[in-house]
Homo-oligomer: A and B are copies of this chain.
Amino acid sequence: MNFIEKLAQASRKNKSLLCVGLDTDTALVPDHLAIMEFNRAIIDATADLVCAYKPNIAFYEAMGLAGLDALKRTREYIPADIPVIIDAKRGDIGNTAKAYAKSLFEWYNFDATTASPYLGFDSLEPFIQYRDKGVIILCRTSNKGAADFQSLMVDNNGKKQLLYEVVAEKVNGWNVNGNLGLVVGATYPQELEIIRKKYPEMLLLIPGVGAQGGELELVVKYGADKKRERTIINSSRQIIFASKGKDYAKAARREALALRDKINEILDRTA
């Protein structure tokens, strides 16, 4: 089963567009816990509530080899029917892109990765060639600095577009294997609306609800696809660090449940 199918199945089974970001920042993990122990408890507490998990590799790299070992074991621990997206934002040329794809898709066995568009098609091709895997490309990110380049007005063969719109258009054209998606931040619901209207069936990964302040109501209304199987709404800190105490897993479940149900409530109301 490929990534897109696996995602659709998990979304349906768990009635969820919610992805939990396993951004296990050691500075925030309760002292007495190992990373792996923390992740295991979060996964146990939320696996029936999510359409996917998304660890950001940076937090694991910051811990050196021990962190990457914990990442690999975390990936192995996640139930087989839930897709795991590694948030790695890689972007490099030919041979090097091939090496990154080998690392993320073969060595770790992730189901999908995020990738950066700046180097163009040939930097993405080695990822795209893994037809069973997903490649989710940065389009409009959720941070303040996103506007520095992504919102520049561009002349795209005579059409005036913002850079992120050009990225969306090109990625859509490159999606011959059906395994591409776009990252569009929850903090810019208007941009989300533009992209979703133009590409109603495109896979969208939407980070930034919760700690980053994205407005859930607009995000769901503008961002979700009709079939509810090509939309991934990610929340990280708001869920996994919902409590700093011993009840962190219980608190994570409570937050995840509330957020999943709230998304579904908005979906049903605005459908």
Q: Which residues of A contact B (CB under 8 A)?
A: 23, 25, 56, 58-59, 61-65, 68-69, 72, 87, 89-97, 99-100, 102-103, 107, 116-124, 138, 141-150, 152-156, 163, 166-167, 170
Contacts and interface: CB of A to CB of B under 8 A. Distances in A.
Given A63-B107, A122-B145, 18 more contacts: A25-B95, A56-B96, A58-B99, A59-B99, A61-B100, A62-B107, A64-B72, A68-B68, A89-B91, A89-B92, A119-B141, A119-B145, A120-B144, A120-B146, A121-B145, A152-B155, A152-B166, A155-B155
Contacts of A117: 118, 148-149
Contact of A167 (B138, B149, B150): B149
A61 B155 contact: no
A223 B142 CA distance: 36
A150 B118 contact: yes
Contact of A142 (B93, B100, B150, B154): B93
A106 to B, nearest CB: 8
A121 B150 CA distance: 12
A152 B156 contact: yes
A68 B67 CA distance: 12
A64 B107 contact: yes
B141 A93 contact: yes
A103 B163 contact: no
A143 B156 contact: no
